[in-house]
Chains A and B, each alone.
Chain A
């Protein structure tokens, strides 16, 4: 069996703004000035990922079963992570021979080379007597016959998928030079029902859609969640008690509290990067302005004060600036201010409307929704320059960044039917895919790397 590879695909050359994402990658559209990797000749790498070996097939409390089945499942998760990223051509355990446990220390480089693999990910899973799983993961360059990276983790059996994501993160980071992002979670809104009787529930899942859990019942309309940086709580909007208010929901205790005591409606919650502050927007007599309040509660500080709609807000990674949306000029445009509300400046002048800005965790880009007829996801610099579309569909909105600032998730609405789904796209605009969710999905909020 020979692993097959696609022809060399350059993705890091600086090229013009993308106009048609579905276009053939042979053209010079897409790509980005900010390189994905330091290596300009980055290519699809053939990565072989055999089932993780085990010393003895022991039963575990993991959903995947005993350690043999678990070793296969872990390799499957790693394969899916790397494949969905679009940069690699992984071949998973179902298409590869079993890895003998005694080959862990000395990989069969000639054998993998004969199969056409350039990289090898092999590891082991061992069940401890304490109910914990020990997982080791090694990355090897087959041609150089070298170990590039090796790591070990210990996880409770129920968290076995995290070990797989950690391994995928290690491989991705070592090969791309980027920060990891697979071991992360997403809060979003699960949608069911017809367009005129939509039921919207707060829900959470892993970055690959696994470990899905509904948080709220759907009796109260739930919107726009944001995971706290420590994953312990979720800010979201709920019509609990009939009126739209921002609550902070404690995931461990399943309790929630209002973020501010007010008779006015509150919208669009956001965390500061350190989790110490909450931004929210509040409407008074029809005008909406942005406020901040300590995550522990207390008095709020008003940050914007202009007639019209000032809403949203996203902190720069250093917490010193906030990018937000305002229609003070007559239409939705994007502004930047200092974290204390001073020095408010408009940064978008590209025509159309610009909404829902989200600052990249890397700090180099701002993702937003551009409205000119259709709604599309775009990125630009924090100065409002070099705008590029990442998507081209009827209605894509509400971008949220992967923890490493390399992938953007958003939600897409289908014309007429109103069906929604969460999609993600990398900064080239090419690797676009829909996330698996049990029902329709919107308002994704990607948390940090764990």
Chain B
């Protein structure tokens, strides 16, 4: 099953960009004999029985563990373009989604507090759609992806400084079912 191996995140996160024009071509359906839990970079290799203690494959917890922070992407001030770091994160997300094609996601778009409310709602929607478009360009069915904007209504960093604003300008991928 070389194509499935090729798409495993730890092996080919960057090779994927060159080798797989579309993830659908890599793994249209999850092979039945795929290892049950994808290894997360955060799980240490000397852990005695990671597969027994790991999250349920295909679950939200599994996604979070596999992403190790890459469920969230970030944006520059007043921008909605996908930068190289976000691109890598979305590719990791697309690999997981390719493995579990029954799963649907919602992408939340968020903004920092330093904008007007209406505009930030629209900007959050734009950011969520930019992430959605990137995932569909990687072969994820658009019907599996919904978007929602929270504008500046749901900050995760509470300060009023550049660092907090940078953290709050984000797109968050959430497994919905």
Instruction: Tell me if B155 and A195 are in contact (CB < 8 A).
Output: yes
Give the contacting residue for A355; candidates B116, B128, B148, B149; CB below 8 A.
Answer: B116
* A contacts with B, residue count (CB < 8 A): 43
> Is the C-beta of B117 less than 8 angstroms from some C-beta in chain A?
yes
Give the contacting residue for B160; candidates A287, A375, A416; CB below 8 A.
Answer: A416
Q: Which of B35-43, B53-61, B84-92, B118-126 touches A?
A: B118-126
Instruction: Tell me if A221 and B129 are in contact (CB < 8 A).
Output: no
User: Contacts A223-B153, A285-B129 hold; do A398 and B122 have CB atoms under 8 A apart?
Assistant: no
As a 0/1 sequence over residues 156 to 170 of chain B, the CB contacts with chain A under 8 angstroms (1 = contact) are 101110000000000
- Helix, strand, loop or mixed for chain A's interface? strand
Instruction: Tell me if B129 and A281 are in contact (CB < 8 A).
Output: no
Give the contacting residue for B121; candidates A267, A285, A355; CB below 8 A.
Answer: A267
Instruction: Tell me if A268 and B118 are in contact (CB < 8 A).
Output: yes
Instruction: Tell me if A415 and B129 are in contact (CB < 8 A).
Output: no
Instruction: Tell me if A221 and B119 are in contact (CB < 8 A).
Output: no
Instruction: Tell me if B125 and A196 are in contact (CB < 8 A).
Output: no
* B contacts with A, residue count (CB < 8 A): 27
Q: Name B131-165 residues within 8 Å CB distance of A.
A: 133, 148-149, 153-156, 158-160
Provide the residues of chain A in CB contact with B125, threshold 8 Å. Answer: 265, 283, 286, 288
| Highest count of chain B CB atoms <10 Å: which of A200, A243, A283, A355 | A283
**Nearest CB of A to B150, in Å:** 8
As a 0/1 sequence over residues 100 to 114 of chain B, the CB contacts with chain A under 8 angstroms (1 = contact) are 000000000000011
User: Contacts A285-B129, A416-B160 hold; do A198 and B153 have CB atoms under 8 A apart?
Assistant: yes
> Is the C-beta of A276 less than 8 angstroms from some C-beta in chain B?
no
**Nearest CB of B to A110, in Å:** 56
Instruction: Tell me if B118 and A265 are in contact (CB < 8 A).
Output: no
Provide the residues of chain A in CB contact with B78, threshold 8 Å. Answer: 331
Give the contacting residue for B113; candidates A242, A285, A418; CB below 8 A.
Answer: A418
Q: Within the assembled complex, what's the spacing in Å between the Cα atoms of A371 and B112?
A: 14
Provide the residues of chain B in CB contact with A288, threshold 8 Å. Answer: 122, 125-126
Instruction: Tell me if B129 and A309 are in contact (CB < 8 A).
Output: no
As a 0/1 sequence over residues 58 to 81 of chain B, the CB contacts with chain A under 8 angstroms (1 = contact) are 000000000000000000001010
Instruction: Tell me if A224 and B155 are in contact (CB < 8 A).
Output: no
Instruction: Tell me if A224 and B116 are in contact (CB < 8 A).
Output: no
> Is the C-beta of B19 less than 8 angstroms from some C-beta in chain A?
no
**Nearest CB of A to B137, in Å:** 14
Q: Which B-chain residue is minimally distant from A394 (CB atoms)?
A: B160
Q: Within the assembled complex, what's the spacing in Å between the Cα atoms of A443 and B155?
A: 18
Instruction: Tell me if B121 and A371 are in contact (CB < 8 A).
Output: no
**Nearest CB of A to B167, in Å:** 12
Interface residues, chain B, CB within 8 Å of chain A? 78, 80, 113-119, 121-123, 125-126, 128-130, 133, 148-149, 153-156, 158-160
Closest CB pairs A-B (n = 8): A286-B129, A288-B122, A283-B125, A268-B118, A286-B126, A355-B116, A309-B122, A415-B160
27 A-B residue pairings within 8 Å (CB atoms): A195-B158, A223-B117, A223-B121, A224-B117, A243-B148, A244-B121, A244-B149, A265-B149, A268-B121, A283-B125, A283-B126, A283-B129, A285-B129, A286-B128, A287-B126, A309-B119, A332-B116, A355-B115, A355-B119, A356-B118, A371-B114, A371-B115, A375-B116, A395-B113, A397-B116, A416-B160, A418-B113
Interface residues, chain A, CB within 8 Å of chain B? 194-196, 198, 200, 221, 223-224, 237, 242-244, 265, 267-268, 281, 283, 285-288, 309, 311-312, 325, 327, 331-332, 355-356, 369, 371, 375, 394-395, 397-398, 413, 415-416, 418, 442-443
